[in-house]
Structure 1
Amino acid sequence: MTSADSRPWTSEYTNGLDPYGEPPYDSIVVAWRARVASSPNTVALRYFDGTLTADQLDRASDALAVAFASRGTARGDRVGVYLQNIPQYAITLLALWKLGAIAVPLNPMYRRRELRRLVDDAGAVGIICADNDIEETAQTLARGTVRWIISTSPLDFQSRNDPRVTKSVRRVAPATQGDVAELIREFEGQRPDDVKLSRDDVALITYTSGTTGPPKGAMNTHGNVLAVSTTFSDWAQVASGDVVLAVAPLFHITGAVINAVLSLTSDTTLVFTGRFHPEVVLEAFAEFGVTYTIGSITAFNAIAELPQASAAHFASVRNLYSGGAPVPPATVERFRERFGVYVHNAYGLTETTSGVIAVPPGAAAPVHTISGTLSIGVPLPNVVARILDPDGVPVSPGLQGELELSGPQVISGYWNNSEASRLALPDGRLLTGDVAIMDERGWVYVVDRIKDQINVSGFKVWPREVEDALYEHPAVHEAAVVGQHDDYRGETVVAFVSLKSGASATAAELIAFTRQRLAAYKSPRTVHIVESLPKTQTGKILRRELRDSTIVSLENPSKGVT
């Protein structure tokens, strides 16, 4: 059995990593200031042809922090960050943390009720959004907790204006409460009052669908974030002068912690390219000499599909990691054969503040003989992983059970949700809801999912939310949503729908209908219109049967609509 004192995986560690190592700082702000003090003139951020040194970024975030404070933002206040991967994201995070405020990363693909629900739950006092989203955001959040909206333009902090990313060079009028770049100029040279933070202070509230129910706000503390960013930096052998490319979106825990904070708190350059575009990201690898990044396997697959992509684009890369979605062994091999770079697996959750299990640099992940599953790696320093049977008893190596994780990376609970915290985090240990196997050497294989949650390119989709959107269509009688395997995305959203008597609707119409109400990745890519749905005797729809179903659409008996 694997106990808390038995860590066979440490034999797989490279470079003499301390299995019990802890970060030297108590807050992200202190870690950031140490970086600025040691190398103020090195480039901290790049955004196409724009750069900010560590000192310039420090002064910009000071000014923005004062601007936030002038609007009543104080320690413990929650502020939504509703942006793509642009420098203003990093500036905003540092500004909020300097005030002792809490950043609430919000997916900019969210619309209306899905955005309003998270903002209301967090009780956010303000929000930073792109200038193109001002009007809809203001309407969505009217009469709620938000007191101010500050906008920003993706045209700022660079002048290349790549049309593949910026779309338009037309500037939109800023929000009435101000524009980020203008506020930085207005409050230039001012500093916020010092706020002493501890490892227990919350840095982020990141929303996850979790393993059951609606989205829950994970409270990621400064200690949680540093425990992961510091450890993963050492693990991935990130060194002074390295170049980190922000491939994973910063509104996702992976992008926020082991791209952004990892880079900001070390003497490295963080490169932004806006919303993910495969050609732009491919070019950035070569242009900026990227040495490390982590992104979803979907992103790397999109890059690999580009005919112009070559090994030369990845010549500077030392370590490439993929997290957030399952990676088939064949995908890793195809990438390595074409580009000469091995994509290392990494595993983490919002509740573990990102990656806590990963493949060591230079190692190739083994494949589980029976299931054919590629290993997600071994637990990182100061992480304890156990595989439990249904009674909570650790199982022997090679046997499957639920993956449990504990350590300083694991959150203490969910925002304003003590019951969910009690169920998912008994005694501070996280029950992940993933079925896994650990071998005798400590390699972990995730072989199944306990719950019905769907993982699309690293984004979590709860079926009920999609079903609720489908039920809004007047022709829909019953709906069930499941995830099915997809080599490109990990999983894809599939809906089974029966229609009301005498009503009509096409699969394409239903897909379009959901896309008006949900983020694009949540909308079904396939809709099967069927005569009826399988149910239990009590009338509960059997998603399990649908997941592996051979049921075909009445509309298109061959395959439904994608």
Structure 2
Amino acid sequence: MRARSSPPAGRRPAADDVVQILFTSGTTGEPKGVMHTSNTLFSNVRGYIGRIGLGAADVLMMSSPMAHQTGFMYGLMAPILLGAKVVLQDIWQPEEAADLIEAEGVTFTMASTPFLSDLAEVGARRPASVRSLRMFLSAGAPIPRVLARRAAESLGATIISAWGMTENGATTTTRPDDPPEKAFETDGCPLPGVELRVVDAEASRCRPIRRAGCRSAAPAISSAICAGRNGSPRTPRAGSRPATSRAWMRTAMSASPAAPRTSSSAAARTFPSSRWRA
């Protein structure tokens, strides 16, 4: 079979074509297929690596499966965009993770809070094995205050907190230079190109969260909200693009402007600007 230097004519997807359908039940418990395009995926990944400060010299490690948005966007797409090395761990084993960090010189990883707890325990016993790690981004569950401090000490790394959804990717994060308490008190501030607001049950009152706590407002990158969700009667129809029409997407998450883990409900939108070119 002869390799082709480019896709056959007419088969190369355009930047706004759906290239990913990822099923999730999310907060609502209703199964739905979240549809993303190259534009929605890459616009989020670009804002993410810019916020965290990742570069080609970094070595990323991903222990989440590629069938999960965390693994796909930040374990597969981000290293490709950066031109950086990535280490994939197919089954989570904290001791093995420490071995990989030491052997490969891993500088950054992203995983849920239980992973952080596991690796912190290993780091306390084997500090040399995690010496290269400079940042651990934790998402999916709040980071207890005691764990955040213990992990920072035992890993010698900056702990970053984040919040996101399959529909949006990472939506808020703390910043590497934030005070440590930000990681266990908040989920940070919106990524470039994202706007959040907190509304009451009737959506009659809202408080915008533009970039509270951030030093400057970066320009919009592009739409990161999914192109549509298939299979749920209360979600956008297949092929709809709420983000590019500047529509708000209800997240069904609880939040407040001061600490996005408490009270009210949150809505999010992203701004269309520069586009990813396929």
> Shorter-chain-normalised TM-score: which range?
0.7 to 0.9
Give the unaligned 5+ runs of structure 2. Answer: 210-221, 266-278
Q: 1:413 aligns with which of 228, 231, 234?
A: 228
Q: Distance in 1 between matches of 2:232 and 2:24?
A: 13
* Residues 1:248 and 1:394: Cα distance change in structure 2 (over 3 Å): farther
Higher relative contact order (CA 8 A, sep 6+): 2
1:298 Cα offset (Å): 0.9
Could you give the per-residue CA deviations for residues 341-363 of structure 1, whole angstroms, max 9, x where no partner exists? 232101110111x2110001121
Question: What does the per-residue CA deviation read over 1:4-32, in whole Å, with 9 as the maximum and x for residues that have no partner?
Answer: xxxxxxxxxxxxxxxxxxxxxxxxxxxxx
Q: 1:275 to 1:284 in 2, by over 3 A?
A: same
TM-score (norm 1): 0.40
CA deviation vs aligned residue, 1:287-333 (integer Å, no higher than 9, x gap): 10111121111112122233774332232223220112221122111
The separation in 2 between residues aligned to 1:263 and 1:295, in whole angstroms, is 16
Task: Give 1:15-26 correspondences, 5 Å limit.
Answer: none
Q: Would the alpha carbon gap of residues 397 and 257 (structure 1) be closer, same or farther in structure 2, given more than 3 Å must change?
A: closer
Equivalent-residue separation in structure 2 for 1:211 and 1:388 (angstroms) = 17
Query: Number of residue pairs matched?
Result: 245
Q: How far apart in 2 are the matches of 1:220 and 1:415? A: 11
Partner of 1:389: 200
User: 1:339 is matched with which residue?
Assistant: 155
CA positional deviation for 1:208: 1.2
**Contact 1:365/1:374 (8 A) holds in 2:** no
Q: Trace 1:29-108 onto structure 2 (pairs within 5 A).
A: none
Are the structure 2 counterparts of residues 394 and 196 from structure 1 closer, same or farther at C-alpha, using a change threshold of 3 Å?
farther
Q: CA deviation at 1:222?
A: 1.0
Structure 2 distance, partners of 1:365, 1:384, is 24
Distance 2:203 2:231 in 1: 27
Which protein is bigger by CA-based radius of gyration? 1
SS at match of 1:420: coil
The residue number in structure 2 matching 1:200 is: 16
Amino acid corresponding to residue 377 of structure 1 in structure 2: G
Percent of pairs with identical residues? 24
Other-structure match for 1:364: 179
Amino acid at match of 2:251: T
Residue identity opposite 1:262 in structure 2:
A
Q: Secondary structure at the match of 1:351?
A: coil
Q: Matched residues in 1 for 2:208 and 2:153: separation?
A: 32
SS in 2 for 1:206: strand
CA drift at 1:247 = 2.2
**Higher helix content, 1 or 2:** 1
> Which residue is 2:254 aligned to?
435
* TM-score, normalised with respect to structure 2: 0.78
Contact 1:198 1:223 in 2 (8 A): no
**Deviation sequence 1:174-203 (CA, Å, 0-9, x none):** xxxxxxxxxxxxx46445425443332112
Amino acid at match of 2:255: A
Per the alignment, residue 43 of structure 2 pairs with: 227
Deviation at 1:431, TM superposition (A): 1.0
**Aligned-partner Cα distance in 2 for 1:408–1:317:** 31
Aligned residue runs from structure 1 range 242-257, under 5 A: 242-257=58-73
CA RMSD of aligned residues (A): 2.7
Query: Which residue number corresponds to residue 269 of structure 1?
Result: 85
**What are the superposed Cα offsets for residues 99-157 of structure 1, whole Å, 9 maximum, x if unpaired?**
xxxxxxxxxxxxxxxxxxxxxxxxxxxxxxxxxxxxxxxxxxxxxxxxxxxxxxxxxxx
The one-letter amino acid of 1:234's match is G
